[in-house]
Amino acid sequence: MLESKRNRGFYVRMKLFNNNTRNNKSFCYRYFKWVLWFSISFYFVSSFLITHDHKPAISFSRTTISRAKPSRALIEEQSLNNLKNPDVSGLLKVYVYNLPSKYNVDWLSNERCSSHLFASEVAIHRALMNSETTTFDPWEADFFFVPVYVSCNFSKVNGFPAIGHARSLMAAAVDHISSQLPFWNRSGGSDHVFVASHDFGSCFHTMEDAAMKDGVPQFLKNSIILQTFGVKHKHPCQEVENVVIPPYISPESVRNTMEKSPLTGHRDIFAFFRGKMEVHPKNISGRFYSKRVRTKIWRRYGNDRRFYLRRHRFTGYQSEIVRSTFCLCPLGWAPWSPRLVESVALGCVPVIIADGIRLPFSSAVPWADISLTVAENDVDHLGKILEHVAATNLTSIQRKLWDPEVRKALLFHNSMLEGDATWQILVALSGKLDRSHKKPRVFLQ
């Protein structure tokens, strides 16, 4: 569950206290540690009370902390020198709106809400709440995160997320923040960040025709959308400033799988796919599931012993990925798939079959080196293509794939880790500081 603001303030102060003690391990300190402890505690308790008494709850600021830390300009300078792993926590400040629970945490009464493939909307919120990047003073924020969970209403009929209410819930959230605080109106929303983690992202629809027809809601067109959907060509569902993010796979599930199936290096399955593969895909207003690609794969390779294809759900499927050399990641309704993340996390070479897909975090994940891309039209030659790679550069692909930094970049953790998916989002946002009402300072000085 998310921490309350007050708890967090306390937590940050505790951390500062710990840092001080670590830096002062002198002989003297041993004798005076109790005196020190009392004076520091007194200082924090009194500053806590002062802050609390004289400021509205919303500007519960971190000024005491900032003063004790190296200056922000210094951090920014250091970060620029380290482009591979920029210190995002020093680079920017994000304010997370405290919305009424009907917009977010109420949905978590359904346990699936925080673990299904669209759950990055929950995971990013949690990670930001636990992050040093988050500020409780909106006046010092570069970006504003609006935590609305729209993918958590599961249909009673088929168990799939029902996102019909998503647009109105988002609209209500924008009404709420724009009437309560001045920051939305100040920038017209351009420094406000939303998550749209389902099929067609900021179009808030699961079917492409309807999604394209509706387009991005007018009230979001000026903002930044973190979305799983992304293609290289023009598409109505990305006509908004956006960052492509990976679908959510729980890091615990990956860890459990790896504990149960030690990665001995031996992978007895050549090519793996488990998922929906319609034998006779239905024509739904002129569109076929997976553009019939999965059907073609099933027909062509269903009886091929090199291919391990399964059409039914199995909760232990991650243990099959660990045993596989190549993992097929064909498009579904949308081009992206959770298999991309699971394959990378579990060391199975992703075979991406989704023409024009835009993949997440290309600055951190060298997709061209760690995956194969097969055109939708070429699936009939899949066997030959994979054999060729296995005979030529497979080892080099696997070695690059097994880089811990690459595997980490696609997973969200409740407490942000350096280089993880939330971190990559912040890196992407730090490239959009020109959209912030609070423009970057150091570069202009």
Whole-number Å distance between alpha carbons of 259 and 251: 12
Q: Which CB sits closer to ligand NAG, 390 or 433?
A: 390
User: Of the two residues 169 and 421, which places its CB atom closer to ligand NAG in the complex?
Assistant: 169
Indicate the SS3 state at residue 102: helix
Query: Which residues are near ligand NAG by CB under 6 A?
Result: 153, 155, 162, 165, 178-179, 182, 185, 283, 285-286, 369, 389, 392-393, 396-397
Maximum Cα–Cα distance for the chain, whole Å? 79
When the beta carbons of 26 and 179 are compared against ligand NAG, the nearer one is: 179
CA proximity to 367, closest of 244, 242, 255, 268: 244
Q: How far apart are CA 272 and CA 319, in angstroms?
A: 11
**Closer to ligand NAG at the Cβ: 243 or 397?**
397
Long-range contacts of the stretch 110-117 (C-beta < 8 A, 24+):
110/152, 110/154, 112/152, 112/154, 113/149, 113/152, 115/248, 115/250, 116/151, 116/161, 116/248, 117/247, 117/248, 117/249, 117/338
User: Judged by CB, which is closer to ligand NAG: 36, or 389?
Assistant: 389
The answer to whether the Cα torsion of 177, 178, 180, 185 is positive or negative is positive
Least separation, in Å, of the C-beta of 388 and ligand NAG? 6
Amino acid at site 431: G
**Exposed (0-12), middle (13-18) or buried (19+): which is 145, by Cβ within 10 Å?**
buried
Cβ 401 vs Cβ 344: under 8 Å: yes
Locate 245 and state its tokens.
């993010």
CB of 278 to ligand NAG, least distance (A): 14
3-state secondary structure of 8: helix
Q: Is the Cβ–Cβ distance between 397 and 350 less than 8 Å? A: no
Q: In this complex, which beta carbon is closest to ligand NAG, that of residue 181 or of residue 269?
A: 181
CB of residue 345 vs ligand NAG: minimum separation in angstroms? Answer: 18
- Nearest distance in Å: CB 423, ligand NAG: 25
Q: Which is nearer to ligand NAG, 89 or 371 (CB)?
A: 371
User: Residue 195: how many CB atoms within 10 A of its CB?
Assistant: 28
By beta-carbon proximity to ligand NAG, the closer residue of 75 and 162 is: 162
CB of 199 to ligand NAG, least distance (A): 15
If the CB atoms of residues 55 and 384 are measured against ligand NAG, the closer one turns out to be 384
Closest distance of CB 415 from ligand NAG, Å: 30
Residue 192 CB, nearest distance to ligand NAG (Å)?
13
353 DSSP β-pair partners: 330
Q: How far apart are CB 351 and ligand NAG at their closest, in Å?
A: 12
CB closer to ligand NAG out of 10 and 154: 154
Tell me how far, at minimum, the Cβ of 284 lies from ligand NAG, in Å.
8
* CA-based nearest residue to 162, from 208, 199, 209, 124: 199
Residue 232 Cβ, how far from ligand NAG at the closest point, in Å? Answer: 18
Distance CA 130, CA 270 (A): 41
What sign does the dihedral 358-359-360-364 (CA atoms) show? negative
- 101 alpha-carbon distance from chain centroid: 21
Rounded to whole angstroms, the Cα distance separating 143 from 439 reads 10
